[in-house]
Structure 1
Amino acid sequence: MKLALILAVFAAPVFADTCPPAGDFSEELATLRSAANAAPDERAGRAVSDKMWEVWLRAPDERAQTALDRGMRQRGNYDFAGAYDSFDRLVAYCPAYAEGYNQRAFISYLRADYDAALVDLDAALDLSPDHVGAQSGRALTLMQLGQIAEARTQLQAALKNNPWLSERALLAKGGPLAPKGEDI
């Protein structure tokens, strides 16, 4: 009994510093993607989009959730340096949690560090290939980097997963990602 207590005391910090595996929400997200594609109008589509964000914003544990929430509050207060630091800590603690990379990428994007944003968006998509937020963020980032054809392709992939993204306007006639040669 005494040995077990000693081992538990020394083992506790090791477990406390280890992020649990990110949850597998693939079925729930697949259902939401289907619902988005079946939505009859923008209002219903936006409601499904909000539900997608609720899923992505479920961190693996309380420590990760605290870091995520803190970073988002900091971003909301335009403390981009603080938000980046919070998301950086989240990624270091939970390297298998896609949303940590996605949020850190958003901060890099807001700071016009598009190369850093692209690295994090690629990491997020490696972990969660159908993450619509990361897909559309990657399209916007590629557009800023002047990689228009790749941005167009990326946005089209995102819209297959959720046709109600506001970024869809970028593909409309005359938009910066609209297919060229159809304006006659």
Structure 2
Amino acid sequence: MFMRVVLPTVFTFALSSTAFAQGCPEAPDHSASIAALLADVQAAESEAEAQRLGNQLWEFWADAPDARAQEILDRGMTRRSAYDFLGALSDFDRLIDYCPEYAEGYNQRAFVHYLRRDFAAALRDLNRALELSPQHVAALSGRALSLLGLSRLDEARATLQEALNLNPWLPERYLLDPGGPLADDAVEL
């Protein structure tokens, strides 16, 4: 009897360990859809239209590689929204451990670091997110804000401009206005 119970249990554990060892599948490739949406955002004639299009980008960025990754991502985002930053960090750490090539895990963890005012940690995660997804406008914007938090104004200005090249309607664009924290004071009159 013992052998009949143990062997299936050992076999099941071996299968689940093998599945975990294989890791996260590759994230869906939404690059063409994202590029098309960014082109539409750039051509938008109003802020409301651009915001509607920009919201559609999140459908692609937050499309996790599999159900397990999606569950971890969703739980982390829910915890972050409830100000459970430690719980959210734990979830995003798990997501990154499981799916180290999925940009949104890094972007979401960076957001929690940013909310906790740990701008250096946010910047590390945002840099990795952008390595994986160079047109991730939200990560670029977050990078600019993190650089601002670190008083690295020239880099923040350049990064924000890069984000605005992709989406000129970002709310952060006002940071570059005269008198704004990223205004270029070197403008000659």
**Percentage of matched positions with identical amino acids:** 51
Aligned pair 1:128/2:133, yes or no?
A: yes
Q: How many residues align?
A: 179
2:147 alignment partner, SS class: helix
Question: By how many angstroms is 1:151 displaced?
Answer: 0.3
Rg comparison, structure with higher value:
2
The answer on whether the counterparts of 1:173 and 1:183 sit within 8 Å (CA) in structure 2 is: no
Q: Tell me, which stretches of 5 or more residues in structure 1 are unaligned?
A: 1-5
CA distance in 1, matches of 2:68, 2:178: 45
TM-score between both structures, scaled by the size of structure 1: 0.92
Q: Which residue of 2 aligns with 1:157?
A: 162
Residue 74, structure 1, aligned to residue 67, structure 2: no
> Whole-Å Cα distance in 1 between the matches of residues 16 and 86 of structure 2?
32
Q: How far did 1:16 drift? A: 4.2
The runs of 5 or more residues in structure 2 that have no matched partner are 1-9
Greater RCO (Cα-Cα under 8 Å, separation 6 or more): 1
**Inter-partner Cα distance in structure 2 for 1:9 and 1:143:** 48
Mapped pair 1:32 → 2:32:
no
Question: Structure 1: which 4+ aligned runs deviate by more than 3 Å?
Answer: 6-13
Output the CA distance in 1 between the equivalents of 2:178 and 2:188.
Answer: 8
* TM-score normalised according to structure 2 size: 0.90
Task: Give 1:43 deviation, angstroms.
Answer: 0.5
Q: 1:77 is matched by which residue type in structure 2?
A: A
User: SS state of the match for residue 170, structure 1?
Assistant: helix
